Structure 1
Amino acid sequence: MALVTLTNVSKSFRKGDETITPLDDISLEIDEGEFVSLMGPSGTGKSTLLNLVSGIDRPDSGTITVAGTEVTRLSRSKLADWRAANLGYIFQTHNLIPVLTAYENVELPTLLLPLSRTERRQRVELALDAVGLSDRADHYPRQLSGGQEQRVGIARSIVVHPKVVVADEPTGSLDTETSDQIQVLLRRLNQELNITLLMVTHDSDVAAIASRQLVLDRGKFVEG
């Protein structure tokens, strides 16, 4: 059953006198528990698609439904609440807050949810355990390696038990060995926790870990 559905979605931007259309009447279904990777040349709409699915941006036309909610109909305030409860986001550069510990960075998204202190602690501990960092909970970002920082970012993305996790170049700033480790982790989280993942990457080897690979070019999906 489709968890994410895009129907006839288009998005354009003005750049000077030119109109750029990164997404041109595209449709897409992603099933619950599916791991989808998205590749394509720079500027072809990959990050735009992530932003639309996560409700950060709105399409010019078409509809986007996630877990039964048509996000294109939500007001900005309701979108923020919906995103907090349903979306996880993995960034390329970790985006951890340096004055907070790993535990506190992971805990941040849960502060937006109506959870008890006990529930919040349990979720944070489970998320850190899932990425293999239970023993680094009290460490600050400066005390962690790049790979460990990205693991904290991944734990933060899953702590709210999101319907879908979107990942924008999650291995882009890592060395080869660390990238391999993060790839294994993402695949394991998808398989063992049934986390639905939509990942943008420029690396064909990283894209290959997904159960389905898509390629965007000139606003359309093309054959990989």
Structure 2
Amino acid sequence: MTLVELRGVSKSFRKGDETITPLDHVDLDIARGEFVSLMGPSGTGKSTLLNLVSGIDRPDSGTINVGGTEVTTLSRSKLADWRAAHLGYIFQTHNLIPVLTAYENVELPTLLLKLTSSERRKRVALALEAVGLSDRADHYPRQLSGGQEQRVGIARAIVAHPQVVVADEPTGSLDAETSEQVQVLLQRLNKELEITLLMVTHDSDVASIATRQLVLDHGKFLDCNSGAGIR
């Protein structure tokens, strides 16, 4: 079943006197439970795609449907509500709030949902357990390693039980050993919890952990696998 559907999506930017078009009438299907990685040269629109799928930015043309919701037609206030309930975002640099504990950082997205306090506690506990940090719940970011901080960020991305999680260079700031640990974690979350993942990376080894690899080149997708899901 298709979860993310892009049809005829274009996005351009002005750079001086030049118009840059990182996405040029692209179509893309991502199935529920799929793990898709996206590569491409710097500046080709990989992060732009994530921002469009997550509703942070809007396309110049085309439609984006996520889980039955036409994201491109939502007002800004409704987009914020939709993101809180249906989308998780994993950042390259963790973006944890230093004065909050790991538990409190993970809890933040749930504060935007209509949950009871007991349900909120249950979700945070399960998210921390899923990333192997139940014993670090009361630790502040300064008391955690880089890999642990990223795992807190991943727990925060999945705590609201989103339909899709987008990850922008999730291993980009980690050393090789820690990067491998995060890769294993992402694969496990995809396989065991059936979390749908769309990941941008510049590292071909990291890209290879996904079930499907795409390359964004001159505004179009190139499929590194069978071609399924691209029209």
Q: What's the TM-score bracket when you normalise by the shorter of the two chains?
A: over 0.9
Determine the C-alpha separation between the residues in 2 that align with 1:53 and 1:172: 21
Q: Give me the whole-angstrom Cα distance separating, in 2, the residues matched to 1:7 and 1:72.
A: 11
The equivalent residue for 1:30 is 30
Moved over 6 A (4+): none
Residues 156-195 of structure 1 aligned to structure 2 (within 5 Å): 156-195=156-195
Q: 1-side partners of 2:77 and 2:20: how far apart?
A: 28
Point out where structure 1 has 5 or more consecutive residues left out of the alignment: none
Q: In structure 2, what is the equivalent of residue 133 of structure 1?
A: 133
Aligned residue for 1:210? 210
Question: Does the Cα contact within 8 Å between 2:213 and 2:223 map onto a contact in 1?
Answer: no
Who is 1:153 aligned against?
153
3-state secondary structure, aligned to 1:171: coil
Name the aligned partner's letter for residue 28 of structure 1. L
Deviations 1:34-84 (A, max 9, x none): 000000000111000000000000000000000000000101111110011
Partners of 2:102 and 2:63 in 1: CA distance: 37
Number of matched pairs? 224
Aligned to 1:110: 110
Query: In 2, Cα distance between the equivalents of 1:38 and 1:213?
Result: 6
The match for 1:200 is: 200
Q: Distance between the aligned counterparts of 1:98 and 1:206, measured in 2?
A: 28
- Aligned-partner residue type, residue 51 of structure 2: N
Deviation by residue 1:183-213 (Cα, 9 ceiling, x = unmatched) = 0000000000000000000000000000000
Measured in 1, the distance between the counterparts of 2:159 and 2:68 equals: 21
2:83 aligned with 1:83? yes
Task: Give the deviation of 1:222 after TM superposition.
Answer: 2.1
Cα deviation for residue 223 of structure 1 reads 4.5
Deviations 1:79-114 (A, max 9, x none): 110011000000000000000000000000000000
TM-score in terms of structure 1 length: 0.99
* Aligned equivalents of 1:23, 1:123: Cα separation in 2: 36
Q: Take 1:104 and 1:15, find their aligned partners in 2: how far apart are those partners? A: 40
3-state SS in 2 of match to 1:199:
strand
Structure 1 partner of 2:228: none
Spell out, residue by residue over 1:18-40, the C-alpha distance to the aligned partner (whole angstroms, 9 max, x if none). 11100000000000000000000
SS of 1:99 mapped into structure 2: coil
Which secondary structure state, in structure 2, belongs to the residue aligned with residue 95 of structure 1? coil
Q: How much does 1:16 deviate?
A: 1.3
Tell me the SS of whatever aligns to 2:150: helix
How many percent of aligned residue pairs carry the same amino acid? 84
CA distance in 2, matches of 1:221, 1:89: 22
Q: Which amino acid aligns with 1:186?
A: L
Matched, 1:60 2:56: no
TM-score (normalizing by structure 2): 0.96
CA RMSD of aligned residues (A): 0.5
For 2:145 and 2:68, the matched residues in 1 are separated by 39
CA shift digits 1:113-132 (9 cap, x unpaired)? 00000000000000000000
